[in-house]
């Protein structure tokens, strides 16, 4: 039994140990959620909460000596996140038709209309979700090819994303500076490296933050400078100059 699995067994009985385990595996949990939904997930997304609960469930249910914990946890996270997405795509709301407001529907007719409206809404919701998922998948695949040139993967972003509002503002300032400075942007793309010193001088962001969140800043810049409307939606705070 390896060290991780020993930590998991301790966490089954001790909440402090569980909290430590979650902290140590935060990037792993985010990566599993991101890979499941095919888009970048942060701890401000609902999928993070679902994945976190799934990870805790995996800890509680894991039995030592029966395979890899991470493999087991990844499977549980994937199942729970997919269950959540399916629940979101269903139309469980009570359908209200125009006729319901003027009292022109009797109970039997209203029931039939309500069922048809619910079915149509559910179909439209599923179609919209499928279309969005396909477009998001295409954007991620295209971005993967770009980021490959920089030596990292789209799903590595979970580890390098800013965790505090202050750091997020700093990363946003760095991205805005790159987008506004054609020479810096060209230098980054030519060398496939973030021009740390020049960017720090131009943006006022300290080098330590630029180095720590290099992948996030590069990806954010490429997304906002390209045609990636779905991914860009998660970076709207950059153009607004604030935080989400």
- Over residues 167-188, the pLDDT tens digits come to 999 999 999 999 999 999 999 9
What's the start-to-end Cα distance of the chain, in Å? 42
Q: For residues 135 and 220, what is the distance between their CA atoms, to the nearest angstrom?
A: 18
Confidence of residue 91 (pLDDT cuts 50, 70, 90): very low
Stretch 146-162: mean pLDDT: 85
The model's confidence at residue 38, banded by pLDDT at 50, 70 and 90, is confident
Neighbouring C-beta atoms of residue 163, cutoff 10 Å: 11
| Percent of the chain scoring above 70 in pLDDT | 79
Our measurement of the distance from residue 201's CA atom to the centroid of its chain's CA atoms, rounded to an integer in Å, reads: 31
Residues 100-138 have pLDDT tens digits of 334 444 444 444 444 454 455 455 555 544 556 677 778
pTM, to two decimals = 0.52
Rounded Cα gap, residues 70 and 133, in angstroms: 26
Give the number of other Cβ atoms within 10 Å of residue 157's Cβ: 24
What integer best gives the mean pLDDT of the chain? 80
% pLDDT > 90, the chain: 34
pLDDT per residue as tens digits for the range 24-37:
899 899 989 988 88
CA 228 to CA 221: how far, in whole Å? 11
Is 95 a residue whose pLDDT tops 90?
A: no
């Amino acid at each position: 039994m390896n060290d991780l699995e020993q930590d998991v067994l301790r966490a089954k009985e001790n909440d402090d140990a569980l909290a430590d385990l979650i902290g140590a595996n935060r990037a792993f949990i985010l990566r599993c959620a991101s890979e499941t939904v095919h888009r970048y997930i942060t701890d401000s997304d609902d999928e993070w909460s679902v994945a976190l609960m799934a990870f805790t469930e995996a800890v509680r249910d894991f039995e030592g000596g029966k395979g890899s914990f991470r493999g087991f946890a990844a499977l549980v996270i994937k199942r729970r996140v997919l269950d959540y997405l399916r629940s979101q795509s269903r139309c469980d709301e009570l359908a209200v038709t125009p006729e319901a407001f003027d009292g022109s529907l009797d109970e039997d007719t209203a029931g039939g209309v309500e069922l048809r409206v619910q079915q149509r809404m559910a179909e439209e919701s599923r179609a919209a979700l499928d279309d969005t998922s396909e477009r998001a998948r295409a954007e991620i695949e295209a971005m993967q090819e770009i980021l490959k040139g920089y030596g990292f993967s789209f799903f590595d972003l979970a580890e390098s994303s800013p965790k505090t509002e202050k750091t997020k503002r700093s990363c946003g300032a760095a991205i805005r500076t790159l987008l506004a400075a054609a020479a810096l942007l060209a230098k980054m793309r030519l060398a496939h490296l973030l021009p740390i010193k020049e960017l720090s001088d131009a943006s006022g962001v300290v080098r330590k933050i630029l180095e720590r969140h290099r992948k996030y800043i590069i990806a954010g810049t490429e997304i906002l400078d390209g045609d990636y409307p779905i991914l860009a939606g998660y970076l709207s705070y950059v153009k607004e100059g604030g935080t989400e």
